[in-house]
Amino acid sequence: MDASEEPLPPVIYTMENKPIVTCAGDQNLFTSVYPTLSQQLPREPMEWRRSYGRAPKMIHLESNFVQFKEELLPKEGNKALLTFPFLHIVDWTECWDTEVYKATVKDDLTKWQNVLKAHSSVDWLIVIVENDAKKKNKTNILPRTSIVDKIRNDFCNKQSDRCVVLSDPLKDSSRTQESWNAFLTKLRTLLLMSFTKNLGKFEDDMRTLREKRTEPGWSFCEYFMVQEELAFVFEMLQQFEDALVQYDELDALFSQYVVNFGAGGIKCPFHNSVACW
């Protein structure tokens, strides 16, 4: 590279209004598998089951994959969904070498997991990338099952399904395709589980906020922003009818406030003050 050229910034793949997934580990490796990952992830639909007796729906999941940084993790009290990382994945290559695992990989995984724990982030996945060409040149190789079991014992505890193997992801072989299928299925499942859990909490918090609308200090503007974000979330899942329902509810709530305000003595829906208008 020419000395006058500035180094390229870290690769960040962005798509508007998609669930965020952070990626730690070998960024060059992730860059190489990203085209296949982004194409294959939304191809197979997932059944989305929600609470309150709502009918299940088939949805296609897409994601905005970004490089892992601690500042991306939600702060205490931050309830925004559009900037919420729903899943954290870490991918490693050449970790079949016992010396590499002991010297760097284990320590890096420990630091990554500790950062997630500090922010109460429990949705994660470890991806072990197996490369036969690189393994042939190594002498301190552990058997495949041994290193996978070791990582699972060291980091997964009773969640052994949080560790998957991706075999030669850039090759065109049946073994590679099988490992891709297993990885994508696990990724879709964990992403949907996290999304459903956090969306449910968001809706519960929104309902609690709406129930306080008669209390002093309640602001329709603040509430509007919360329910509008819920509409954006449904839109990014292409659930447009559910998104429109949010605006219908906001319209009905605002209309009722206008009627009550016109009757006199009712506080302004924007600032909860009769002096607003």
Residue 277: the pLDDT is: 35
Same domain, 43 and 143: yes
| β-strand pairing of 57-59 with 46-48 | antiparallel
CB atoms within 10 A of CB 264: 7
The 10s digit of each residue's pLDDT in 18-64 is 889 999 988 888 898 999 999 999 999 999 988 777 788 899 999 99
Which CATH number characterizes residue 73's domain?
3.40.50
Give yes or no for residue 144 having a pLDDT over 80: no
The 10s digit of each residue's pLDDT in 155-177 is 998 888 899 988 888 898 999 99
d(CA 276, CA 145): 68
d(CA 85, CA 198): 10
Q: Which domain holds residue 167?
A: 20-198
Both tokens assigned to 189: 């499942």
CB atoms within 10 A of CB 97: 20
3-state secondary structure (DSSP) of residue 263: coil
CB neighbour burial string for 220-258, b if at least 16 within 10 angstroms, e if fewer? beebbebbebbbebbebbebeebbeebeeebeebeeebe
| C-beta separation of 10 from 67 below 8 A | yes
Residue 14: the pLDDT is: 35
Same domain, 167 and 223: no
Same domain, 36 and 155: yes
Give yes or no for residue 257 having a pLDDT over 80: no
Residue 138: the pLDDT is: 54
Asked if residue 268 belongs to a domain, the reply is no
In eight-state DSSP terms, residue 139 is S
d(CA 275, CA 233): 35
Q: Does pTM top 0.85 for this prediction? A: no
Same domain, 106 and 228: no
